[in-house]
Amino acid sequence: MYYIQIALAIEVVAGGYTAVLIPLFKSYTLSGVITDAQSEPISGARVEAIHTTSQQRSFSVTNDAGICYLDRLQKGKYIIYINGKNISILINAHFPAL
């Protein structure tokens, strides 16, 4: 899935109003800390989430504290790869939406 960013120039006239329609969609963000066997954060780890039905992919790289964020996720089951090793998670209505 690709996202297109659009910029609009809007002229606002004093004493009037300008309606601006902004499309919104429900999405989810998954964040976490990637650590090694000694519970030390792993910097620069590649984290990839693949939705099992749509095959939508989301990528992240951990920062110096081992933190990663995967955003714009849709509800469903994902396979998460951390440096090529996979785990499975389920994103459902119990996760707070953005």
Amino acid at 27: S
What is the pLDDT, as a whole number, of residue 63? 95
**Domain at 1-98: CATH code:** 2.60.40.10
Under 8 Å CB-to-CB from 74, ≥6 apart: which residues? 27, 28, 51, 54, 56, 91
Give which of 9, 41, 25, 12 is closest to 73, Cα–Cα.
Answer: 25
Q: What angle do CA 32, 37, 40 make, to 5 degrees?
A: 60
Q: What is the pLDDT of residues 32-67, one digit of tens each?
A: 888 888 888 999 999 999 999 999 999 999 999 999
What is the pLDDT, as a whole number, of residue 18? 73
Give which of 42, 40, 52, 60 is closest to 91, Cα–Cα.
Answer: 52
Q: What is the pLDDT of residues 2-38, one digit of tens each?
A: 445 566 677 777 877 777 777 777 888 888 888 888 8
